[in-house]
Amino acid sequence: MAKTPDRLAAYNAKRDFALTEEPKGQVGAAQGRKFVVQKHAATRLHYDFRLEWGGVLLSWAVTKGPSPDPSEKRLAVRTEDHPLDYGTFEGTIPKGQYGGGTVMLWDNGTWAPVGDVDDGLKKGKLKFTLQGQRMQGGWALVRMRTKGKRENWLLIKERDDYVDEDPDALTEGYAVSVTTGRKMDEIAAGAKARKPPKPAPDRSRKRPAFVKPQLATLVDSAPTGDEWQHETKFDGYRCIASLGKGGVRLFTRSGNDWTDKFQPLVSAFDPLPCNSALIDGEVMAARISGSAFSSLQRALKSGDPLVFFAFDLLELDGENFRKEPQDARRARLAKLLSGAPSGGPLRLSEHVVGHGAEVFAQACKSGAEGIISKRIDAPYRGTRNKSWLKVKCTRRQEFVIIGTSPSDKAGRPFASLLLASREGGALRYKGRVGTGFSQSDMESLAAAMTARKTPPVKDAPDDIARTASWVRPDLVAEVEFTEFTDDGIVRHGSFLGLREDKDAEEVQIELPQEDVMETEVDGIRISSADRQVFPDAGCTKGDVARHYARVGERMIALAGHRPLSLFRCPSGIDGQCFFQKHDSGGMPDALSRVQIAESDGDEADYLYATRPQSLVAAAQMGTLEYHIWGARTDRLDRPDRLVFDLDPDEGLDWDRVKAAAFETRDILAELGLKSGAIVTGGKGVHVWLPLRRTRGWETIKLFSKTLAHVMAAQHPDRYTATMSKAKRKNRIFIDWLRNERGSTAIAPYSLRARPGAPVAVPVTWAELEKLEGANRFTMSDMAARMKSQCPAMALQGDLQTLSDGVIDALQDMADR
């Protein structure tokens, strides 16, 4: 019978065990599938990678150490098999001995082969999965074709959740022994092993139940005064830590148990002298490389160290502190954490009382995301409220991923992600993000997305939807960007990472609220000034009031002293909205009243504005739009304004509308009448002209009706003069009905209650020619607009008369 070869003969022959403390080689009984990595400072620093198989440790010397980057293939030279006992060796091999130098136990754990091990060793391709303290996930050893006795292999990371784009993240990220906590120089000097961590305390009180965390309201600037304390806004994952009987549980902001994902932090709470506690805080990566958020993503994948920044104490040893003031809870937390090791994984967040502007400026200078400001006298409530405010240095939002755009580059699964947010219960398209991805990001995203056939949104632009690949809207992306366009689309976005702690169903646009308290605009008190009125545009009730204060003088000159129809949306455009023309009680005194006889003979109080404060006061009552009569209150029977509202059918393009406006202008010019244009903030244009008050309503109505029917008769394929939807198909309705007694038209410079907060604006004909839509003006354009001459104001001074000659000329047109 052939003698079984001694697998450790080479190992024993190389060593003098009288001089080295290395274990003497002997084949051992199987202990499971263990692996070990020993950092070895011999003639050249390298990492010895060893796998238990057949009673020995299969061994390779990895010259640069293992890399978590799949594109980084590390040379691994096959060396002699080592005894199983070598898996616990850490110390110094004497100089002059084989492998003389310092050895550190750098990693250990278990491994699981993929396929037959002996066959893989023979063919030169061995795949396996590691569950170590540092190396995790799929790996492969692949033999190179080389001459000579030396076997050169490559150690390669498989693509999975443990990939890191930093090729040296493992070797540079871990510098101490996994068993003794010593560094290489400490091992060489013979320093004693550091004390192992204490076992988890046996806490006797039941763990507190998860509570919803308090959330902060986004504002534009830090609050002033010593009633506020300010903290750095951490760029990580919100976490509620529950301590008590059975150990620690770590919950996300939505209540998901992420104890396993945050496993490195579990022992961090052991030093706390309590039987139970509920602590609010934020989980961050211990090492920041690039952005803090992307560093955390990498740390969670690789098992790198984490830090828990504690900032609130909700319960302690059965006592609930959520009703106590912020500063009292903070003092209790500081006392509880006073025994935690300085610089350890559990830390107390820093704060400053007062000096909000200075704290914010310093935070931005240091590269932080922003600050959180908290009222020191406020209790803790599990909602988003105004006792916690956040101010951001950069614009960042969470968006739902709804699809991808194709890439023309080889190896890239997509060019960009398509984004959406939830508004009014439905997803709305918010643009694309095509930068900020590493190759591993793109591959992991592609693997995580689930394809679907139909788009999750209804408003994706045709050119984007045509080539899009749609996915199930269940992933949330964190995106940094410069601004939203007027249409609410992300501009210059950069991908930061996935928000696994947030539910896609809850993702909405978070916009700054400038006025978190009651404010005053033009002498008018505005309550709930921070209430979002136009959610997609980020405009608040206070913004609406300031708009009407800004444009008020011009609006009064053009629309003042006219009966109004107010379009009110007290809860914003997504809430209930309604028209109001009568004073039914409760309207502000800044608005004036005039009695007008109704068609049934009864009189009612109508509202009208005489000064800018009238408009601001109506805004306080939730008014967004102002619609005006064509007559003033001093002579309601004599109109002084004539309007043609060019209202396009659905689907008609803007160029058709502009052409209709110019054609209306030209026909009026043939009659000797000079007209102006107002883009409505919607889809259409008002062609209008000012009148001398020489004619009554019947004449004005008949004139406008005749002109509309003339245009419809001349071009029946383009225009209609009737409201019938059937006859309006693919045509523009020339709405002459605005010129009846009691009818109204949108006032110049009025807001429109539509997404984007557009404004109805008078324009010159030259401007109209170049304009790209009727809704292109917003509140932000008005400051500059007020510095230039108003076309409507200029035209209003040129009063015109519907003389008998003008009326006869129009009749001649109709008779042709």
Residues that are catalytic: 233
> Left, alpha or beta for 658 (phi > 0: left; psi -120 to 50: alpha)?
alpha
Helix/strand/coil percent split, the chain, to 5: 20, 30, 45
CA 520 to chain centre: 31
Residues 6+ apart with CB under 8 A from 1: none
- Please give the pLDDT value at position 201: 65
Whether 692 shows a pLDDT value over 80: the answer reads: yes
CA separation for the pair 660, 732 (Å, rounded)? 8
- Please give the pLDDT value at position 444: 85
CA separation for the pair 663, 679 (Å, rounded)? 16
- Please give the pLDDT value at position 512: 64
Question: Among 13-22, 189-198, 364-373, 714-723, which stretch is predicted with the lowest mean pLDDT?
Answer: 189-198
The per-residue DSSP string of 244-265 comes to: EBTEEEEE-TTS-B-TTTTGGG
CA separation for the pair 446, 498 (Å, rounded)? 12
Whether 139 shows a pLDDT value over 60: the answer reads: yes
Give tens-digit pLDDT for 743-793: 999 999 999 999 989 999 999 999 999 999 999 999 988 988 999 999 999
Angle at alpha carbon of residue 559, lines to 557 and 564, rounded to 5°: 150
Name the band, by pLDDT with cuts 50, 70 and 90, for residue 127. Answer: very high
The predicted model gives 169-186 an average pLDDT of 87
Question: Among 26-40, 52-66, 721-735, 799-813, which stretch is predicted with the lowest mean pLDDT?
Answer: 26-40
Q: Between residues 453 and 586, which one has the greater pLDDT?
A: 453
The predicted model gives 574-582 an average pLDDT of 86
Name the band, by pLDDT with cuts 50, 70 and 90, for residue 382. Answer: confident
The predicted model gives 141-160 an average pLDDT of 87
- Please give the pLDDT value at position 516: 45
The strand ranges marked E within 291-394 are 306-316, 319-320, 346-348, 352-353, 370-375, 384-392
Question: Among 74-88, 477-491, 639-653, 708-722, which stretch is predicted with the lowest mean pLDDT?
Answer: 477-491
- Please give the pLDDT value at position 202: 67
- Please give the pLDDT value at position 493: 85
- Please give the pLDDT value at position 197: 45
CA separation for the pair 116, 711 (Å, rounded)? 85
Whether 29 shows a pLDDT value over 50: the answer reads: yes
Percent of the chain with pLDDT over 90: 55
pTM (two decimals): 0.43
* 3-class SS string, 534-584: ECCCCEEHHHHHHHHHHHHHHHHHHHCCCCEEEEECCCCCCCCCEEECECC
CA separation for the pair 129, 633 (Å, rounded)? 84
Give tens-digit pLDDT for 287-297: 887 778 888 88
Whether 529 shows a pLDDT value over 90: the answer reads: no
The predicted model gives 674-695 an average pLDDT of 96
- Please give the pLDDT value at position 147: 72
* 3-class SS string, 697-720: HHHHHHHHHHHHHHHHHHCCCCEE
Q: Please, are residues 755 and 488 in contact by the beta-carbon 8 Å criterion? A: yes
75 membership: H or E segment, kind and range = strand 74-83
Whether 102 shows a pLDDT value over 70: the answer reads: yes
CA separation for the pair 574, 663 (Å, rounded)? 37
- Please give the pLDDT value at position 27: 76
Joined together, the tokens standing for residue 112 give 């699981």
Name the band, by pLDDT with cuts 50, 70 and 90, for residue 426. Answer: confident
CA separation for the pair 134, 70 (Å, rounded)? 16
Question: Among 354-358, 415-419, 556-560, 699-703, which stretch is predicted with the lowest mean pLDDT?
Answer: 354-358
CA 357 to chain centre: 24
- Please give the pLDDT value at position 101: 94
Name the band, by pLDDT with cuts 50, 70 and 90, for residue 4. Answer: low
Give tens-digit pLDDT for 402-420: 999 998 888 788 999 999 9
Q: Between residues 815 and 141, which one has the greater pLDDT?
A: 141
- Please give the pLDDT value at position 110: 85
What is the set of domains in the chain, with CATH numbers?
9-188 (no CATH), 215-383 (3.30.470.30), 395-506 (2.40.50.140), 538-628 (no CATH), 641-815 (3.90.920.10)
The per-residue DSSP string of 388-452 comes to: EEEEESSEEEEEEEEEEE---STT-S-SEEEEEEEETTEEEEEEEE-SS--HHHHHHHHHH--B-
The predicted model gives 669-697 an average pLDDT of 96
| Phi, psi at 399, each rounded to 5° | -130, 150
Residues 6+ apart with CB under 8 A from 527: 518, 620
Mean pLDDT of the chain: 89
- Please give the pLDDT value at position 1: 42
Name the band, by pLDDT with cuts 50, 70 and 90, for residue 582. Answer: confident
Which SS3 state, helix, strand or coil, does residue 805 take? helix
Q: Between residues 484 and 594, which one has the greater pLDDT?
A: 594
Whether 806 shows a pLDDT value over 90: the answer reads: yes
CA separation for the pair 801, 703 (Å, rounded)? 12
Most confident of 258-267, 499-508, 678-687, 806-815: 678-687
- Alpha-helical regions (H) of 2-76: 9-13
- Please give the pLDDT value at position 530: 80
